[in-house]
Chain A
């Protein structure tokens, strides 16, 4: 067994050296690579990452050159795709999906001189940083709007997979909807996909038929927006991208992933030689989570309330998970004034009090 272990680690570390690969020289622009899980035309997750890549190009001009590879499967092909980027001379590589975690860790171990940034993961190394966005901050804002806008007091949440990021969003939006509307109830449908327009439309429709009149989504297609538009008198929020095509209704606001500030900051750090591994979890205050235009369908006072909450979160004056909060089973989670730690949030696997139903496992 020892022999195979030895080969496994030895093979990787020695790769570049043993093959005498001509790693491209330093002079010339800094080359930055992006690995995308979907096509750049998905209009959601990958689209937003690519917008940020373009922002990097625009910001640095000739000092930086970017390359990307789209639709890279999260598995056998990821490690090769990342390695090829290194060989192409990239000194900084962003791998933009959770499923690239182990592949990024492996490649990072082989090329200590190249900096890696992995989105939404939890493994780091001296040359591997992680970054994520506090989407739950945005969810608090749209949860507030949802609580105010619902007439049936029933709001729906289309979940992708029962993972901490999504559960944070469900809890955050529910807490803040309840805060402004004690009668509000929330139903959750798990689609088990990040992107399947037909299924997302079905989920939204099923909710609407059961009396839901505000639909929030944690999936990337615009299909729920279309379903809401067809039903009429149902409100939705854009997810990942602004989904502005559905303004002013049903889309009354949106949570936009804005990776540009972080990407620009990290590219600058490499240019300056100050890059260090870190775990960055940016939110509204960092400009990483944006609240899209709140349309005129929302009454002015609700809009003002939502914007006040947004600004309070952005300035750090308010944390969306501030006690007193109880878990679904009624046990106390956070005492009065207590704020949830990042450790608890990043492993969140429970609903807060008031949400009906179980998290599938």
Chain B
């Protein structure tokens, strides 16, 4: 056992990368849930984004256009969910699960001819001077741009929810759609937009896997990342700031666990892998016990809205 072999700076830097796909997907789902909608189809939207992004990137040779395509692909799939749940009033849980099924099937059909191809590469940013600052440089300033895009989106969502009027409306719709409706807000319009945003972010997260982390198209490339994203939203108790911490924690557990294995620290893998979920449940309990449920889940989460009901 020689813990000195683990370089904490590199550990932090690599867990930032490991967390990026789930961070992207989770921030999108956070907005969706703050609008009062539970979309369990994150995995399906992620993998659709992964293949659409890959196809676009290989066709155009530009990973950036690929990421745009991925966002569009994820959003397009989420539009199905939006139409069903918002206009046809279908149950959100069942529709979300069906969306995952559709996404997985669609992506492997689309990807049939893309197995074994390498995607155009995404260079890491290396800014002279600041990237070379000891400790902070490697942690903060030597990543590929999508790491910063992910953090930027989180920052943007935080500011949007906290300071903008539209953010206020979105939260109102999520907390109590009947009251929001009575105040004249367009509940369904807000929710559809939130769902599309969630789809786009999930698509970006998926494309980060197929274009940066793996980077190749293989069926099942997301391997359950979408479900982890759902957990992170809950862990974060629907706050963008905590979401970043949650994503790093969930992403970091795997990285840490593998690092410990390499220096022969005998840690039962199973306990480490279930720990984040147990912590999430504990968080939920503390939140709902501590403040009488007020700071827990958005009030209208998962309930469908119909103006006449």
Contacts and interface: CB of A to CB of B under 8 A. Distances in A.
Interface of A: 38-39, 41-44, 47, 156, 187-193, 195-199, 201-203, 205-207, 209-211, 221-223, 226, 229-230, 241, 244-246, 356-358, 360
A222 B1 CA distance: 29
A201 B214 contact: yes
B157 to A, nearest CB: 23
Given A205-B255, A246-B118, A198 B262 contact: no
Contacts of A44: 218
Given A187-B262, A210-B5, 15 more contacts: A38-B219, A39-B220, A42-B220, A44-B218, A156-B262, A190-B269, A195-B223, A198-B21, A209-B11, A210-B259, A210-B262, A226-B215, A241-B116, A245-B118, A357-B264
Nearest to A212: B262
Those 3 A-B pairs whose CB atoms lie nearest each other, nearest first: A245-B118, A209-B10, A39-B219
Nearest to B212: A226
A246 B214 CA distance: 12
B115 A356 contact: no
Interface string B148-182: 00000000000000000000000000000000000
Given A206-B255, A226-B216, A198 B18 contact: yes
A223 B214 contact: yes
B219 A42 contact: yes
A43 B263 contact: no
B254 interface: yes
B218 A41 contact: yes
A156 B259 CA distance: 12
Contact of A39 (B14, B108, B259, B262): B108
A203 B266 CA distance: 16
B118 A47 contact: no
A360 B269 contact: yes
B214 A197 contact: yes
B218 A197 contact: yes
A202 B273 CA distance: 14
Contact of B225 (A42, A47, A198): A198
B108 A245 contact: no
28 contacts: A38-B219, A39-B108, A43-B115, A187-B262, A188-B261, A189-B261, A189-B262, A191-B258, A196-B223, A198-B214, A199-B258, A201-B213, A201-B214, A205-B18, A206-B259, A206-B262, A209-B10, A209-B14, A210-B259, A210-B262, A210-B263, A221-B216, A222-B216, A226-B213, A245-B117, A245-B216, A246-B118, A358-B266
